[in-house]
C-alpha cells in the first residue's frame, strides 16, 4: 500500500509540474499584456519571430516530455512487482536503438531551419537608417547619435530611499531612467555597443536585442520598432556592485515626432553651451556650489564612494578625510576630470559640465568634515582642462 501511495504521489508530482508549465503558458497567451510567465512577443518583426521559435521549441519539448514520461509512468504503473510483474529478459535491439537515435536527429533538423533563418536576419546589420553608439560604464549607459552631436548619459532614476525601503516603491521601481534613449519607429536603427570599463550587456526584451558591451571592442545590433511606445530593459551581464541598478529605457516615436524631438535637443544643447560660456565670466556662491555639488555627487559618485563619502573598504576608497579631497586641489581636479587608469575611477571630464565639475569638487572638499573652505569655480575647472 505504502508503495502504491509513493508511486501515485511521484506520478502526480511530475505531472503537475509539467502541466503547470503548459497550463500557465496557455493561460498567458490570453492575457498578452503584463506578462509575468512567458517570453513577450515584443514590438519588432524579429522579436515576433523569436517568440514563435520559442513557442515552437517549447511545444516540441513538451511533446517529447509527455511521450518519454508517459512511457515511464506506464511502466511504473504496470510493470511493478506489487502487481505481480515478472521481469522480461530482453535487452538490446538494434532497430529500436537506431530509431531513437535517428528520430531525434530529424526533429533537430526540423528545428534548425527556422532557427538559422531568424539568426541570419538578426545578425544582418547592413543598411541602417540611423546609428546610435551605446556605451556601458559602471553603472550607467551613454547614448550618442552618430549622425548628430547629440549624446547623453542615462542613469537609473529610482531613488535610493525606495531601494532602502524608506519610501514606498514606485510602479517602475528599478526600471526608470533620467534620460531615455529616443529612436524613431519604422526605421532600421543600428546600435554600436561598447563599454568604458567592464563587460555590460544591453538588453531590451521587446526588441529581442541583447548584445554584450565589451571594453575596447564594438558590437553591432539593430532593431526596427513597429509600434511607438516606451520599452524597458536592464543590463544583463554581471558588471559589479550595481549591476542590478542600470536599467535601459527606450522611447520609440513616430519619425516626424522623433525629428521634432531631435531639433529640440539641438536647441537645448546650444543653450547649455551658451550658459557654460556665461558661467566662465562669473562666480557662483559657496552655497550654490554645495547644493548643486551634492546633487551631482549623489548621481555620479555616491555609487562607489557612498553618500557619506566613506567608500567601501578594500574596494572603493573613502573621500572623507582623504588626502585627495583635502590637500592639493590640482590633483583632485586631475583625478575627477581624467579618472585613474587601471581602476574603476572614470574620467568625469567628458560626462559632466564645467559647472557640475566645479560644484562636485567644491562639495567633496567641504562635505563630511572635509572643511577646506576652498571653492572651485567653473572657470577654474576650465583653466585646468585647457592647461593640461
Partner 1 sequence: MTKPTNTTSHEATIADELALNPDHHEHHEHHIPKGMMRWVLTTNHKDIGTLYLWFAFIMFLVGGAMAMVIRAELFQPGLQIVQPNFFNQMTTVHGLIMVFGAVMPAFTGLANWLIPMMIGAPDMALPRMNNWSFWILPFAFAILLGSLFMEGGGPAFGWTFYAPLSTTYSNDSTGLFVFSVHIMGISSIMGAINVIVTIFNMRAPGMTWMKMPLFVWTWLITAFLLIAVMPVLAGAVTMVLTDKFFGTSFFDAAGGGDPVMFQHIFWFFGHPEVYIMILPAFGIISQIVPTFARKPLFGYASMVYATASIALLSFVVWAHHMFTTGMPVYMEMFFMFATMLISVPTGVKVFNWVATMWRGSMTFEVPMMFALAFIVLFTIGGLSGLMLAITPVDFQYHDTYFVVAHFHYVLVTGAIFSIMAAVYYWLPKWTGRMFNITLAKWHFWCSLVSVNVLFFPMHFVGLAGMPRRIPDYSLQFADFNQWISIGGFAFGLSQLIFLALVIQACRKQGEPVSDRVWDGAHGLEWEIPSPAPYHTFETPPVVK
Q: Within positions 72 to 101, which residues make up the interface with partner 1, using CB under 8 A? A: 72, 75-76, 79-82, 85-93, 96-97, 100-101
**Nearest distance in Å: CB 275, partner 1:** 35
What 3-state class would DSSP assign to 326? helix
131, 159, 172, 265: which one binds partner 1 (CB under 8 A):
172
Nearest Cα to Cα of residue 240 among 164, 343, 169, 362: 343
Rounded CA-CA distance 128/224 in Å is 10
CB of 88 to partner 1, least distance (A): 4
Q: Considering the complex, state which of residue 100 and residue 291 has its C-beta at the smaller distance from partner 1.
A: 100
Kindly identify the residues of this chain, within the stretch 99-158, that bind partner 1 according to CB under 8 A. 100-101, 104-105, 108, 111-112, 115-116, 118-120, 122-123, 138
Measured from the CB atom, the residue of 20 and 260 that comes closer to partner 1 is 20
Q: What are 149's three cell numbers? A: 552631436
Q: Give per-residue burial for 364-377: e unless 16+ CB within 10 Å, then b.
A: bbbbbebeeeebbb
Nearer to partner 1, 89 or 287 (CB): 89
Residue 130 or 306: the one with the smaller Cβ distance to partner 1 is 306
**Residues 6 or more apart in contact with residue 364 via CB below 8 angstroms:** 293, 297, 301, 309, 319, 325, 332, 370
Quote the least distance from Cβ 47 to partner 1, whole Å: 8
Name the phi and psi angles at 143, rounded to 5.
Answer: -115, 130
Which CA distances in Å does 268 have to 78, 98, 263, 299, 381?
Answer: 77, 70, 9, 21, 22
Q: Which three cell numbers stand for residue 319?
A: 573621500
Residues 317-356 that bind partner 1 (CB under 8 A): 342-344
Comparing CA positions, the residue from 224, 194, 270, 249 lying closest to residue 130 is: 224
Site string for partner 1, 278-317 (x = CB under 8 A): ----------------------------------xxxx--
Work out whether 263 is an interface residue with partner 1 (CB under 8 A): no
CB of 336 to partner 1, least distance (A): 19
Closest distance to partner 1 from the beta carbon of 261 (Å):
26
- The answer to the question of residue 48 lying near partner 1 (CB under 8 A) is no
**Phi, psi (rounded to 5 degrees) for 136:** -90, 145
Binding mask 184-223 for partner 1 (x = CB under 8 A): ---------x---xxx-x-x-x--xxxxx-xxxx-xx---
Amino acid at each position: 500500500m505504502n508503495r502504491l501511495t509513493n508511486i501515485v504521489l511521484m506520478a502526480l508530482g511530475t505531472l503537475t509540474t509539467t502541466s503547470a508549465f503548459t497550463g500557465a503558458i496557455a493561460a498567458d497567451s490570453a492575457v498578452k499584456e503584463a506578462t509575468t510567465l512567458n517570453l513577450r512577443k515584443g514590438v519588432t518583426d524579429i522579436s515576433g519571430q523569436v517568440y514563435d521559435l520559442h513557442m515552437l521549441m517549447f511545444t516540441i519539448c513538451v511533446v517529447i516530455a509527455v511521450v518519454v514520461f508517459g512511457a515511464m509512468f506506464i511502466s511504473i504503473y504496470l510493470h511493478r512487482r506489487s502487481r505481480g510483474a515478472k521481469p522480461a529478459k530482453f535487452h538490446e535491439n538494434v532497430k529500436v536503438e537506431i530509431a531513437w537515435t535517428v528520430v531525434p536527429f530529424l526533429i533537430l533538423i526540423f528545428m534548425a531551419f527556422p532557427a538559422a533563418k531568424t539568426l541570419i536576419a538578426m545578425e544582418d546589420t547592413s543598411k541602417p537608417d540611423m546609428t546610435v553608439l551605446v556605451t556601458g560604464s559602471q553603472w550607467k549607459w551613454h547614448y550618442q547619435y552618430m549622425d548628430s552631436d547629440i549624446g547623453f548619459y542615462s542613469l537609473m532614476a529610482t531613488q535610493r530611499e525606495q531601494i532602502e525601503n524608506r519610501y514606498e516603491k514606485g510602479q517602475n521601481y528599478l526600471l526608470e531612467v533620467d534620460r531615455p534613449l529616443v529612436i524613431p519607429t519604422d526605421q532600421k536603427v543600428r546600435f554600436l555597443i561598447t563599454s568604458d570599463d567592464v563587460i555590460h550587456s544591453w538588453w531590451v526584451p521587446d526588441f529581442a536585442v541583447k548584445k554584450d558591451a565589451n571594453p575596447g571592442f564594438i558590437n553591432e545590433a539593430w532593431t526596427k520598432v513597429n509600434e511607438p511606445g516606451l520599452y524597458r530593459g536592464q543590463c544583463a551581464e554581471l558588471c559589479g556592485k550595481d549591476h542590478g541598478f542600470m536599467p535601459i529605457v527606450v522611447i520609440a516615436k513616430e519619425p516626424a515626432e522623433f525629428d521634432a524631438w531631435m531639433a529640440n535637443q539641438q536647441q537645448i544643447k546650444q543653450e547649455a553651451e551658451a550658459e557654460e560660456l556665461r558661467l566662465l565670466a562669473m562666480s557662483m556662491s559657496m552655497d550654490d556650489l554645495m547644493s548643486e555639488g551634492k546633487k551631482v555627487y549623489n548621481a555620479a559618485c555616491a555609487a562607489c564612494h557612498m553618500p557619506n563619502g566613506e567608500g567601501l573598504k578594500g574596494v572603493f576608497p573613502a573621500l572623507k578625510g582623504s588626502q585627495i579631497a583635502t590637500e592639493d586641489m590640482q590633483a583632485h581636479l586631475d583625478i575627477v576630470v581624467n579618472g585613474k587608469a587601471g581602476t574603476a575611477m572614470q574620467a568625469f571630464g567628458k560626462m559632466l559640465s564645467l559647472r557640475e565639475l566645479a560644484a562636485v569638487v567644491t562639495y567633496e572638499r567641504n562635505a563630511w568634515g572635509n572643511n577646506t573652505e576652498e571653492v572651485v569655480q567653473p572657470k577654474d575647472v576650465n583653466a585646468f582642462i585647457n592647461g593640461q
